[in-house]
Amino acid sequence: MANKTVAYAPLQREQLREMDDYGEYKGMTFTTKTYDVACILPKTLCCVVQTLNLLPNEVEFHSNCCYGFTQISRRVPYGELAGIEKIKCCWFSSFKAGALTSKTEKGAEVPFCPGTGFEEDYVSEIVEELKLRQYHRGDAAKMRRIEQSLRNLRRVEDKLDVIMRHMNLSLPDSNVPMATEVDSNMFR
Protein backbone atom coordinates (compact mmCIF):
# COMPACT_ATOMS: atom_id res chain seq x y z
CA MET A 1 0.00 0.00 0.00
CA ALA A 2 2.95 2.35 0.52
CA ASN A 3 3.66 2.40 -3.23
CA LYS A 4 0.04 3.09 -4.08
CA THR A 5 -0.75 6.60 -5.25
CA VAL A 6 -4.27 7.68 -4.34
CA ALA A 7 -5.96 10.38 -6.37
CA TYR A 8 -8.12 12.21 -3.84
CA ALA A 9 -10.26 15.27 -4.30
CA PRO A 10 -12.13 16.72 -1.31
CA LEU A 11 -15.89 16.54 -1.56
CA GLN A 12 -17.64 19.66 -2.71
CA ARG A 13 -20.72 20.99 -0.90
CA GLU A 14 -22.75 20.31 -4.08
CA GLN A 15 -21.98 16.61 -3.70
CA LEU A 16 -23.33 16.63 -0.16
CA ARG A 17 -26.57 18.37 -0.98
CA GLU A 18 -27.94 17.06 -4.24
CA MET A 19 -31.29 18.68 -5.03
CA ASP A 20 -34.02 17.81 -7.50
CA ASP A 21 -35.80 20.28 -9.79
CA TYR A 22 -37.97 21.51 -6.89
CA GLY A 23 -35.05 22.27 -4.61
CA GLU A 24 -35.73 19.18 -2.51
CA TYR A 25 -33.09 16.85 -1.14
CA LYS A 26 -32.68 13.72 -3.21
CA GLY A 27 -30.88 10.69 -1.91
CA MET A 28 -27.72 9.31 -3.40
CA THR A 29 -27.12 5.75 -4.44
CA PHE A 30 -23.84 4.26 -3.33
CA THR A 31 -21.79 1.40 -4.69
CA THR A 32 -19.85 -1.01 -2.52
CA LYS A 33 -16.28 0.03 -1.76
CA THR A 34 -13.62 -1.96 0.07
CA TYR A 35 -10.67 -0.47 1.93
CA ASP A 36 -7.67 -2.27 3.41
CA VAL A 37 -7.25 -0.77 6.89
CA ALA A 38 -4.59 -3.10 8.34
CA CYS A 39 -1.46 -1.61 9.83
CA ILE A 40 1.74 -2.78 8.10
CA LEU A 41 3.38 -4.36 11.21
CA PRO A 42 0.57 -6.72 12.24
CA LYS A 43 -0.11 -7.35 8.57
CA THR A 44 3.47 -8.49 7.99
CA LEU A 45 4.24 -10.18 11.31
CA CYS A 46 0.89 -11.82 12.14
CA CYS A 47 -0.75 -12.12 8.71
CA VAL A 48 -3.51 -9.72 9.78
CA VAL A 49 -6.12 -8.82 7.17
CA GLN A 50 -8.47 -5.94 8.06
CA THR A 51 -11.01 -4.57 5.63
CA LEU A 52 -13.80 -2.01 5.69
CA ASN A 53 -16.59 -2.83 3.26
CA LEU A 54 -18.72 0.23 2.62
CA LEU A 55 -22.08 -1.15 1.53
CA PRO A 56 -24.94 1.06 0.32
CA ASN A 57 -26.68 1.27 3.74
CA GLU A 58 -24.15 0.00 6.27
CA VAL A 59 -20.45 -0.63 6.82
CA GLU A 60 -18.77 -3.95 7.62
CA PHE A 61 -15.44 -4.41 9.37
CA HIS A 62 -13.63 -7.73 9.07
CA SER A 63 -10.41 -8.64 10.84
CA ASN A 64 -8.67 -11.96 10.36
CA CYS A 65 -5.46 -12.86 12.17
CA CYS A 66 -3.15 -15.82 11.56
CA TYR A 67 -5.25 -17.32 8.79
CA GLY A 68 -8.48 -17.45 10.73
CA PHE A 69 -7.14 -18.12 14.23
CA THR A 70 -8.96 -15.01 15.48
CA GLN A 71 -11.72 -13.32 13.56
CA ILE A 72 -13.72 -10.16 14.24
CA SER A 73 -16.68 -8.99 12.21
CA ARG A 74 -18.86 -5.96 12.84
CA ARG A 75 -21.74 -4.62 10.76
CA VAL A 76 -23.04 -1.14 11.62
CA PRO A 77 -25.64 1.09 9.90
CA TYR A 78 -24.26 4.50 8.93
CA GLY A 79 -26.71 6.18 11.32
CA GLU A 80 -24.89 4.57 14.27
CA LEU A 81 -21.42 5.75 13.20
CA ALA A 82 -20.91 8.67 15.54
CA GLY A 83 -17.56 10.37 15.79
CA ILE A 84 -15.95 9.74 12.41
CA GLU A 85 -12.73 11.68 12.56
CA LYS A 86 -9.25 11.78 11.13
CA ILE A 87 -6.45 11.71 13.69
CA LYS A 88 -2.88 12.90 13.22
CA CYS A 89 -0.42 11.78 15.89
CA CYS A 90 3.20 12.78 15.28
CA TRP A 91 3.53 11.90 11.59
CA PHE A 92 0.98 9.09 11.52
CA SER A 93 -2.49 9.37 9.98
CA SER A 94 -5.31 7.32 11.41
CA PHE A 95 -9.06 7.56 11.91
CA LYS A 96 -11.86 6.61 14.27
CA ALA A 97 -15.22 5.41 13.05
CA GLY A 98 -17.57 5.33 16.02
CA ALA A 99 -18.98 1.86 16.72
CA LEU A 100 -16.43 0.22 14.40
CA THR A 101 -13.45 1.44 16.39
CA SER A 102 -12.02 -1.17 18.79
CA LYS A 103 -11.54 -0.36 22.46
CA THR A 104 -8.85 -1.37 24.92
CA GLU A 105 -9.62 -3.07 28.23
CA LYS A 106 -9.71 0.37 29.88
CA GLY A 107 -12.16 1.71 27.27
CA ALA A 108 -9.77 3.83 25.19
CA GLU A 109 -10.50 3.80 21.47
CA VAL A 110 -7.89 2.26 19.17
CA PRO A 111 -7.97 4.08 15.82
CA PHE A 112 -7.49 2.46 12.43
CA CYS A 113 -3.98 3.16 11.09
CA PRO A 114 -3.85 1.77 7.53
CA GLY A 115 -0.57 0.82 5.93
CA THR A 116 2.55 2.44 7.28
CA GLY A 117 0.61 5.31 8.85
CA PHE A 118 1.87 7.80 6.28
CA GLU A 119 -1.04 7.38 3.82
CA GLU A 120 -2.75 10.66 4.71
CA ASP A 121 -4.62 10.86 1.39
CA TYR A 122 -5.89 7.30 1.78
CA VAL A 123 -7.12 7.99 5.33
CA SER A 124 -8.76 11.24 4.15
CA GLU A 125 -10.55 9.36 1.38
CA ILE A 126 -11.93 6.78 3.82
CA VAL A 127 -13.05 9.44 6.32
CA GLU A 128 -14.73 11.58 3.63
CA GLU A 129 -16.51 8.54 2.15
CA LEU A 130 -17.76 7.45 5.58
CA LYS A 131 -18.96 10.99 6.38
CA LEU A 132 -20.70 11.28 3.00
CA ARG A 133 -22.51 7.99 3.50
CA GLN A 134 -23.39 8.90 7.08
CA TYR A 135 -24.80 12.22 5.85
CA HIS A 136 -27.02 10.50 3.28
CA ARG A 137 -27.95 7.39 5.29
CA GLY A 138 -27.84 8.41 8.95
CA ASP A 139 -30.41 9.93 11.26
CA ALA A 140 -29.96 13.38 9.72
CA ALA A 141 -30.91 11.94 6.32
CA LYS A 142 -34.05 10.42 7.84
CA MET A 143 -35.00 13.82 9.26
CA ARG A 144 -34.47 15.47 5.87
CA ARG A 145 -36.74 12.86 4.23
CA ILE A 146 -39.44 13.49 6.86
CA GLU A 147 -39.17 17.25 6.33
CA GLN A 148 -39.38 16.72 2.58
CA SER A 149 -42.52 14.59 3.01
CA LEU A 150 -44.10 17.32 5.12
CA ARG A 151 -43.30 19.97 2.49
CA ASN A 152 -44.79 17.74 -0.20
CA LEU A 153 -47.92 17.26 1.91
CA ARG A 154 -48.25 21.05 2.33
CA ARG A 155 -47.95 21.46 -1.46
CA VAL A 156 -50.75 18.94 -1.99
CA GLU A 157 -52.91 20.69 0.62
CA ASP A 158 -52.29 24.04 -1.09
CA LYS A 159 -53.26 22.59 -4.47
CA LEU A 160 -56.38 21.05 -2.95
CA ASP A 161 -57.33 24.44 -1.48
CA VAL A 162 -56.96 26.06 -4.93
CA ILE A 163 -59.11 23.36 -6.54
CA MET A 164 -61.77 23.71 -3.82
CA ARG A 165 -61.88 27.51 -4.26
CA HIS A 166 -62.10 27.11 -8.03
CA MET A 167 -65.07 24.73 -7.67
CA ASN A 168 -66.67 26.97 -5.00
CA LEU A 169 -66.44 24.24 -2.37
CA SER A 170 -65.82 24.87 1.30
CA LEU A 171 -64.42 22.74 4.05
CA PRO A 172 -67.02 20.90 6.11
CA ASP A 173 -67.99 22.34 9.49
CA SER A 174 -66.13 20.98 12.47
CA ASN A 175 -69.48 19.68 13.83
CA VAL A 176 -69.92 17.36 10.86
CA PRO A 177 -68.14 14.00 11.43
CA MET A 178 -65.23 13.44 9.10
CA ALA A 179 -64.81 10.29 7.03
CA THR A 180 -61.90 9.21 9.25
CA GLU A 181 -64.07 9.19 12.37
CA VAL A 182 -65.68 5.79 12.81
CA ASP A 183 -69.08 5.29 14.40
CA SER A 184 -68.83 2.57 17.04
CA ASN A 185 -72.18 1.09 15.88
CA MET A 186 -71.05 0.91 12.27
CA PHE A 187 -69.51 -2.57 12.53
CA ARG A 188 -72.18 -4.29 14.71
> Each residue of 6-49: pLDDT tens digit?
333 444 444 445 555 555 556 678 899 999 999 888 888 888 89
Contact between 122 and 1 under an 8 Å Cβ cutoff? The reply is: yes
Closest by CA position to 87, among listed 77, 79, 97, 78: 97
**pTM for this entry:** 0.62
Over residues 110-136, the pLDDT tens digits come to: 888 898 889 899 999 999 999 888 888
Contact between 65 and 47 under an 8 Å Cβ cutoff? The reply is: yes
∠102-136-30 over CA atoms, to 5°? 85
Closest by CA position to 141, among listed 57, 27, 13: 27
Residue 4 has pLDDT above 70, yes or no: no
